């Protein structure tokens, strides 16, 4: 393949503090690749404003006016990182041969972009996953919770790339395929590996944010992880059966013990037989209901299949 058009997609939510830095750094990388004729001069950076409340959109507009390489997309409201990213990928797919998605704070190392593009151009790889080689810049909690999450997903037979977030290169073919997925609860790092085609991995180290604060507080992170599990695995449902089985066995043992006590020792009549089933059945029923509730909630939102975002404005 010769000189592909590459688009870099950045979802932005209240990122006024980092945009300046981000755009200048990315432009440096793109300009170098354009001047050594690796990529087409039409390659661009597309900023998706995910309903920011600060000056993000007005900044994007002024950048787009000053620089020909900048495109902007404004969503009608905040729809979350995954939906904003999807909006960017689907809306700019026709303008490029491959799109690279990366967070707007550039915590992920952009010096591997040439290598990612190389995989696409030289080896015709359709998805290039950027994977963190280590997690030194994470808090201890984030590090171990992430490790636990990936292990758990693996154990539940969900095919996700270890230590890969949403920093990746996808070719037109992949995004075309992605557009045919209709799910509302998006978990892109779970969906992309199910598409197939050729893929490869490029390693990098993640830095700390240069400015601004994380838009992924603990609550959002946990619900994202839970979404990942319930969107790709029915293992929790199977777990319910397993647990009920164990509890049932314990109940039988407890019943035998209760009957034994009744004949061999003196107990307050009626106590054991009242309290045992209460504990066991109450606990297990609540647990089962909880898990089923998760899936029912999911079916509820999937069945409605509401639009994931609306475009308010686009500048090229």
Contact positions vs Mg ion (CB under 5 A): 103, 105, 107
Taking CB under 6 A as the binding criterion, the range among 73-81, 122-130, 267-275, 278-286 that sits at the site for ligand UDP is 73-81
Q: What is residue 43's three-state secondary structure?
A: coil
Instruction: Give yes or no for residue 223 binding ligand UDP (CB under 6 A).
Output: no
Tell me how far apart the alpha carbons of residues 108 and 163 are, in angstroms, rounded to a whole number: 12
| Cβ nearer to Mg ion, comparing 112 with 174 | 112
Instruction: Give yes or no for residue 78 binding ligand UDP (CB under 6 A).
Output: yes
Contact, 174 vs 195, CB < 8 A?
yes
Contact, 92 vs 46, CB < 8 A?
yes
Tell me how far apart the alpha carbons of residues 289 and 220 are, in angstroms, rounded to a whole number: 23
| Cβ nearer to ligand UDP, comparing 82 with 126 | 82
Candidates 6, 8, 9, 12; binder of ligand UDP (CB under 6 A) is: 12
| Cβ nearer to ligand UDP, comparing 132 with 215 | 215
Tokens of 216: 């992924």
Tell me how far apart the alpha carbons of residues 158 and 151 are, in angstroms, rounded to a whole number: 10
Q: In residues, how long is the chain?
A: 316
Tokens of 190: 């779970």
In terms of DSSP H, where are the helices of the chain? 19-35, 56-66, 81-92, 113-123, 140-155, 172-178, 188-195, 218-232, 235-264, 271-304
Q: How many residues at the interface with ligand UDP, by CB under 6 A? A: 16
Tell me how far apart the alpha carbons of residues 203 and 7 are, in angstroms, rounded to a whole number: 20
Residue at shortest CB range from ligand UDP: 214
Contact, 13 vs 51, CB < 8 A?
yes
Instruction: Give yes or no for residue 280 binding ligand UDP (CB under 6 A).
Output: no
Quick note: the x/- pattern for ligand UDP over 116-155, rule CB under 6 A, is ----------------------------------------
In the window 80-109, what residues touch ligand UDP (CB under 6 A)? Answer: 80-81, 84, 103-105, 107
Tell me how far apart the alpha carbons of residues 223 and 269 are, in angstroms, rounded to a whole number: 47
Taking CB under 6 A as the binding criterion, the range among 10-18, 29-37, 148-156, 251-259 that sits at the site for ligand UDP is 10-18
Q: Choosing among ligand UDP, Mg ion, none, which partner's interface includes residue 56 (Cβ < 5 to 8 Å by kind)?
A: none
Contact, 169 vs 128, CB < 8 A?
yes
Candidates 35, 214, 305, 313; binder of ligand UDP (CB under 6 A) is: 214
| Cβ nearer to Mg ion, comparing 209 with 314 | 209
Q: CA separation (Å) from 117 to 122, 131, 223?
A: 8, 15, 33
Tell me how far apart the alpha carbons of residues 223 and 218 are, in angstroms, rounded to a whole number: 9
Chain centre to alpha carbon of residue 145:
15
End-to-end CA distance of the chain: 26
Please state the closest distance from residue 200 (CB atom) to ligand UDP, in A: 24
Please state the closest distance from residue 58 (CB atom) to Mg ion, in A: 22
Taking CB under 6 A as the binding criterion, the range among 6-14, 131-139, 282-290, 294-302 that sits at the site for ligand UDP is 6-14
Candidates 215, 225, 230, 232; binder of ligand UDP (CB under 6 A) is: 215
| Cβ nearer to ligand UDP, comparing 80 with 228 | 80
| Cβ nearer to ligand UDP, comparing 43 with 107 | 107
Residues of this chain that interact with ligand UDP (CB under 6 A) are: 11-13, 15, 50, 78, 80-81, 84, 103-105, 107, 214-216
């Amino acid at each position: 393949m010769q000189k592909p058009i590459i688009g870099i997609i950045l979802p932005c939510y209240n990122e006024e503090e980092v945009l300046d830095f981000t755009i200048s750094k990315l432009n440096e990388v793109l300009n170098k690749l354009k001047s050594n004729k690796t990529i087409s001069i039409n390659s661009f950076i597309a900023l998706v404003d995910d309903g920011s409340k600060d000056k993000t959109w007005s900044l994007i507009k002024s950048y787009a006016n000053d620089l020909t390489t900048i495109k902007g997309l404004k969503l009608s409201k905040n729809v979350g990182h995954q939906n904003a990213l999807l909006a960017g990928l689907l809306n700019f797919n026709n303008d490029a041969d491959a799109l690279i998605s990366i967070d707007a704070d550039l915590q992920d190392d952009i010096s591997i972009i040439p290598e990612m593009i190389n995989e696409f151009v030289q080896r015709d790889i359709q998805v290039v996953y950027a994977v963190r080689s280590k997690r030194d810049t994470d808090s201890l909690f984030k590090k171990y919770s992430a490790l636990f999450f990936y292990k758990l997903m693996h154990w539940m037979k969900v095919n996700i790339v270890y230590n890969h977030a949403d920093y990746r290169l996808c070719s037109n073919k992949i995004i075309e395929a992605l557009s045919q997925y209709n799910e509302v609860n998006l978990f892109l790092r779970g969906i992309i590996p199910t598409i197939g085609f050729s893929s490869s991995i490029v390693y990098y180290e993640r830095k700390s944010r240069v400015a601004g604060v994380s838009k992924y507080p603990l609550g959002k992170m946990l619900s994202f992880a839970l979404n990942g599990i319930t969107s790709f695995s029915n293992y929790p449902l199977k777990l319910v059966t397993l647990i009920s089985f164990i509890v049932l066995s314990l109940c039988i043992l407890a019943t035998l013990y209760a009957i034994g006590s009744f004949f061999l020792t003196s107990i307050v009549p009626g106590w054991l037989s009242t309290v045992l089933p209460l504990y066991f059945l109450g606990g297990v029923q609540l647990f089962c209901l909880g898990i089923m509730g998760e899936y029912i909630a999911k079916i509820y939102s999937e069945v409605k299949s509401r639009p994931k975002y609306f475009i308010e404005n686009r500048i090229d």
